[in-house]
Structure 1
Amino acid sequence: MSVHTEAAPQSTPKLRSRPVTATIVLFAGLAVLLMGLALSISVGAADIQLSTVWEAVFQFNPDITQHQIIQELRLPRALAGALVGACFAVAGAIMQGMTRNPLADSGLLGLNAGAGFVLALCFAFLPGLPFMQLILYSFLGAAVGAFMVYGVGSMSKNGLTPVRLALAGAAVTALLVAVSEGVAIYFNIGQDLAFWYAGGVAGTKWVQLKIMTPWVVAALIAALLLSRSITLLSLGDEVATGLGQRTGWVKLACAIVVLVLAGTAVSAVGAIGFVGLVIPHIARSLVGVDYRWIIPCSAVLGSLLMVIADIGARMINPPYETPIGTLIALIGVPFFLYLARKQRREL
């Protein structure tokens, strides 16, 4: 008598994750972020005490000048920094997991430069465009930048390695920035673009926050829903396919989320790089390789980095402000060189 047995379905590989550590990172990070937001609202040209900040937030009096400063200038600025930091960090985490490229970042792979280039065209040919439409054009520009980078990087006969992709991103970024500057000079819109080149959250208004927040929240929720699939993609396409993953659709969904996050962030604060490169690596070192933990931890840590950088930008040389992009680059460039050196054997 013959016995027929069915093959057991292939199970998901056990991943190195640290849920306890991840929970601690999330709660501790949120606590420090709240303190950072309070400090960010208090720091500025006008010296305002924390007690006044509390009153301005919860007992707003429009007749008090300090309350107006907090409500109209500092509060939206601090919240925008937190949102944008989460955008850049989560976009970088998704790109690193989806492409298995430790050098992936929206700034290094041309998305920020592409969005900035399309914004330059909008300022030149469509002045006075509403912020909502600027966000949509930023999505388009980010997609153009990514397409150009992957197109140039794929020309190599030896394949698309992480370092080649980073080099292609650097080349395309330089081209798009140069063309954007040329457009700015020819159409005399250099002052309008200076903010996006330097990067910063100064001048963010409530109307911008109201427009960008639904996009950001929806994209972050989508990233969390895709986190398990991103974890499988990070193990390789063959493993993901063997586990029943429809890799093509997952990558398309991830690409859309990245474009929304990067496009929204760039349209709001400019082309700030390296947040999406550094933060996911820090999160991964703390919580393991499971993207169900990496993505939320990256969002919290990215927000914290941007808020702290914004505080530093105001405190280094008061009453003048140092561009946030410059401060973050001081951390990001050495980190990028370190990662590139680890990947040098793939050249």
Structure 2
Amino acid sequence: MATAGVVRRGGGHSLRRTGGLVIALGVLAVVVVASLGIGARDVTAASTWAALWHDDHSAEALIIREFRLPRALLGLLVGAALGLAGALMQALARNPLADPGLLGVNMGASAAVVVAISYLGVSAITGYVWFAFGGAAVASVVVYLLGSAGRAAATPDRLVLAGAAVSAVLVAFTSAVLLLDPRAFNEFRFWNIGSLAGRKLDVVAQIAPFIAVGIALALALARPLNVLALGEQAGRALGAHVGRTRVLGALAVALLCGAATAAAGPIAFVGLAVPHLARLMVGPDQRWVLSYSAVLAPILLLGSDVVGRVLIAPSELQVGIVTAFVGAPVFIALCRRRKLADL
């Protein structure tokens, strides 16, 4: 009888979590519709729907198909990537304050973009994407090699320290180049602020395969991460491959955060705050934390993008600024409500 009661309670928890995820997906659908329809020129839901399926060469169709649809799709991909990358980082580092930039990914992307602008004359966003992604990947590899140097294994503490050191060097390099090249600074600042605007479908197509692989890899690591949460020794005793899980997790973070940062620039607080909200809603089970993070983060990102369009209309406030203003109070509120959620 006791066992049956436990099963019923477990089934109830699973049902509530599933229901919550369905509701979150519904909210995400509403936010996507708002992203397509709201802006300097509002478009009705009927006109939006018609423009998605038929290009009648009207002004509304041009706005929806050429500008807002790529922006919404990019927000979905970048949001899901940052949410999953943040949840993975916090689980791998067992540090509730970890975020995707902790492994030097953001600064690696930034340094590569500066090099592309200043030394190679790249000025198009489609050019930034590949340099930024390459810089993020190289920075991740360097951090892992430094963190695993010597006889000791690549523990979370060593990776965090290596990430801080690499980020500091890249910050100094980036600042020096920008100070010596005003033209590069003028172009770099628009990417560095974090934005979904001005990106076309070709940018979405470039990053989509990397984010798709990263999402699949992140979700596949949910069960091993649950085992590792018990501690390394307990995890090994239960058959977990600690080293392999960390390597695959670092690869997933590099793919997700590298592609997202390459396309939209560094966007703060999404990867930090959203996993805490997910754990507050569903507990520490990484299967649910990762799933919720992949849905809640696009809601925050696209919602912030819509807010940025209407706050100072007809001008726009870039999404990187809005997420900082929205994400910081949310994170502080979560911290005040309770202790940081257990990992």
The reply to whether TM is greater than 0.5 is yes
Normalization by structure 2: what TM-score?
0.83
1:37 aligns with 2:32: yes
The residue number in structure 1 matching 2:18 is 23
Larger RCO (CA within 8 A; separation ≥ 6) = 1
Deviates more, 1:202-211 or 1:172-181: 172-181
2:7 aligned residue:
none
- Greater Cα shift, 138-147 or 63-72: 138-147
Change (3 A) 1:150 1:32: farther
Deviation at 1:297, TM superposition (A): 0.9
Is 2:304 aligned against 1:309? Answer: yes
How far apart are 1:123 and its partner, in Å?
1.9
Q: How does 1:62-77 map to 2 (within 5 A)?
A: 63-77=57-71
How far is the alpha carbon of 1:201 from its aligned partner?
A: 0.2
Kindly state the Cα deviation for residue 239 of structure 1 after the two structures are TM-superposed. 1.6
Residues in 2 aligned to 1:338 and 1:25: alpha-carbon distance in whole angstroms: 19
Shift of 1:263: 0.5
Alignment pair present for 1:226 and 2:205: no
- Out of 84, 109, 112, the residue aligned to residue 115 of structure 1 is 109
Q: Which residue type is aligned with residue 231 of structure 1?
A: N
- Deviation for aligned residue 1:323: 2.4
Q: Percent identity?
A: 36
Comparing 202-211 with 107-116, greater Cα deviation is found at 107-116
Does the 8 Å contact 1:181/1:190 carry over to 2?
no
- Structure 1 counterpart SS, 2:312: coil
**Contact persistence 1:115–1:138 (CA under 8 A):** yes
- Which of 82, 95, 103 is equivalent to 2:76? 82
For residue 230 of structure 2, what is the aligned residue in structure 1? 235
Q: What amino acid is the match of 1:266?
A: T
User: Distance between the aligned counterparts of 2:12 and 2:220, measured in 1?
Assistant: 18
| RMSD between superposed Cα atoms in Å | 3.4
Where does structure 1 lack aligned partners over 5 or more consecutive residues? 1-14, 155-159
Deviation at 1:59, TM superposition (A): 2.3
Are the structure 2 counterparts of residues 327 and 130 from structure 1 closer, same or farther at C-alpha, using a change threshold of 3 Å? closer
Distance in structure 2 (CA, Å) of the matches to 1:238 and 1:16? 30
Aligned to 2:265: 270
CA distance in 2 between counterparts of 1:283 and 1:300 reads: 10
Q: Which amino acid aligns with 1:250?
A: T
Q: Secondary structure at the match of 1:201?
A: coil
Give 1:90's aligned amino acid.
L
Distance 1:165 1:218 in 2: 23
Q: C-alpha separation between the residues in 2 aligned to 1:18 and 1:181?
A: 50
> TM-score, normalised to structure 1's length?
0.82
Quick check: 2:108–2:138 contact (8 Å CA) kept in 1? Answer: yes
Which residue is equivalent to 2:201? 206
CA distance in 2, matches of 1:275, 1:18: 26
- Give 5+ residue unaligned stretches, structure 2: 1-9, 150-154
Determine if the alignment matches structure 1 residue 197 to structure 2 residue 192: yes
Q: Distance in 2 between matches of 1:274 and 1:342?
A: 18
Partners of 1:208 and 1:272 in 2: CA distance: 17
Question: 1:284 touches 1:294 (CA, 8 Å); kept in 2?
Answer: yes
Three-state SS of the structure 1 residue aligned to 2:69 is helix
Aligned to 1:290: 285
| Structure 2 SS opposite 1:262 | helix
Q: How many residues align?
A: 324
